[in-house]
Structures are given as C-alpha cells and as structure tokens.
Structure 1
Amino acid sequence: MIADLANRFDFHPAMTPERRDAHERVRAICKHAAEQIDALVPDGREKACAVTHIEEAMFWANAGIARNNKENHS
C-alpha cells in the first residue's frame, strides 16, 4: 500500500522528451475539446460540468503518463 500511495501522491517529472510531448498533446486535445464545447453549448451548469469533466480527463490522462514506467505513449 505504501508504494501505491507514493506512486499516487509523489511528483513524477517528465524525464523524457516523449513524456513531455505526450503531456503537451493531451493538454492540446483537451483544450480543443473544451473550446468546442464553449462555442457550441449555451452557458449554464451543463456547459460548466462538461468543461470540468474534460479538465478531469486531462488530469487523469496526464497522471497515467506520469505514473506509468513504460516509455511508449504514441
């Protein structure tokens, strides 16, 4: 359990150009999706929830990249 907690809560810097690129791609994809939602959906709770969930997806995707020891993220 201690190793799992360390993996979940420790900082995981992007140690390779591939990981940095993967983080940047995830951010760009999620930003584009949020911009499209912003343009298409009227302001309100539903839009706010949709954008928040895209943000959460970005965080989880980047955590998956950061926490995974494999280097193949293409």
Structure 2
Amino acid sequence: MNSQLENNFKYHTPIEGQTEKYNKIREKAKELAYLIDKICPNSREKALANTKLEEVSMWANASIARN
C-alpha cells in the first residue's frame, strides 16, 4: 500500500481551525479574481488566469487538508 496515494485520495474531515484557513484562502483568491475581472480584457488569457487561480485555491486548501 502506498501511504501517499492513500492520503491523497481519501476524504479529510476538517479538524479544528482548518475551515477558517480554507475560508481565508478562498477570500483572497476571490479578491484577486475580482481584480482580474475588473482590469483584464475578456480573453483566453483572462479565462486561463481565473482557472489557474481556482487551481491555486484548491491546491492550497488540499495542502491544509492533507497535512
């Protein structure tokens, strides 16, 4: 059994303090998303920036959940 794979593909019930950390990350990501939406022209690049920002938020929260 590979413990890293087991950890990466299981549900991680939030423990005390994690939910607040998740929310802080989401709020900052949302703040940047609004800035991007406001000052960047609609384009493929803007769409990619938003996609990457979503990825950043998800991976940052995964780091909290998994570790």
Q: TM-score range by the shorter chain?
A: over 0.9
* 1:28-73 Cα shifts (integer Å, max 9, x gaps): 01011111101110001010000000000001000000001xxxxx
Give runs of ≥4 in structure 1 deviating > 2 Å.
none
TM-score normalized by structure 1?
Answer: 0.86
* 1:65 equivalent in structure 2: 64
* 1:71 equivalent in structure 2: none
Following superposition, the deviation at residue 10 of structure 1 comes to 0.4
Question: Secondary structure at the residue paired with 2:25?
Answer: helix
The residue correspondences of 1:23-62 to structure 2 (distance < 5 A) are: 23-62=22-61
State the aligned residue count. Answer: 67
Instruction: Kindly indicate whether residue 17 of structure 2 is the aligned counterpart of residue 8 of structure 1.
Output: no
Task: Give the superposed CA RMSD.
Answer: 0.9
Distance 1:52 1:13 in 2: 26
* 1:3-31 Cα shifts (integer Å, max 9, x gaps): 11111110112111x11100000110101
Unaligned runs of 5+ in 1: 69-74
